[in-house]
Amino acid sequence: MQHNSLETAKAAIKMSISSRQEEKDLKKAFKKSDINTAAVDFGGEFNKSVPTIIERAVIAAKREGIITESHVEQGAVAGAAHDAITQIMPRTLGLNVGGKVGIARSGEHLVVAVFFGVGMLNLNEVTIGLSHRSF
């Protein structure tokens, strides 16, 4: 059964905010309802981390069978990850970040969610970016 973009987006967001154990449980539950998911952690200085975050998203999507080796599918994940990161860029430029990328696909719908913890001194902020592709 193919889910719509809203249900697929919810899955990506849940993956991005999950703990490691929750991630494993969610992945199994989503798989039963025909939503393939993946998640990957990241961290570091924001400006330097962007290419690594995008690469990790593509690698995780390939590793979990969400996409194939096709440059079209890899480009869809990379583009969605970049768009999601761009949404939160004004809050993170020049600061240290850590967080998780959640990826979900159901049929033609692919969603990437990025959850960021943004740190400066002892002040912490959280933010989420989200992007959808269909192919």
Domain ranges of the chain: 5-134
The pLDDT value recorded for residue 15 is 98
The pLDDT value recorded for residue 6 is 96
Residue 122 CB partners (closer than 8 Å, separation 6+): none
The pLDDT value recorded for residue 94 is 86
The mean of the pLDDT values for the chain is 95
pTM of the entire predicted model: 0.94
Query: Which of 95 and 133 is assigned the larger pLDDT?
Result: 133
The pLDDT value recorded for residue 38 is 98
CA-wise closest residue to 130 among 109, 114, 108, 106: 114
Residue 37 has pLDDT above 90, yes or no: yes
Q: What is the mean pLDDT of residues 72-86?
A: 97
Report the SS3 class of residue 42: strand
Domain 5-134: top CATH class = alpha beta
Residue 52 CB partners (closer than 8 Å, separation 6+): 42, 44
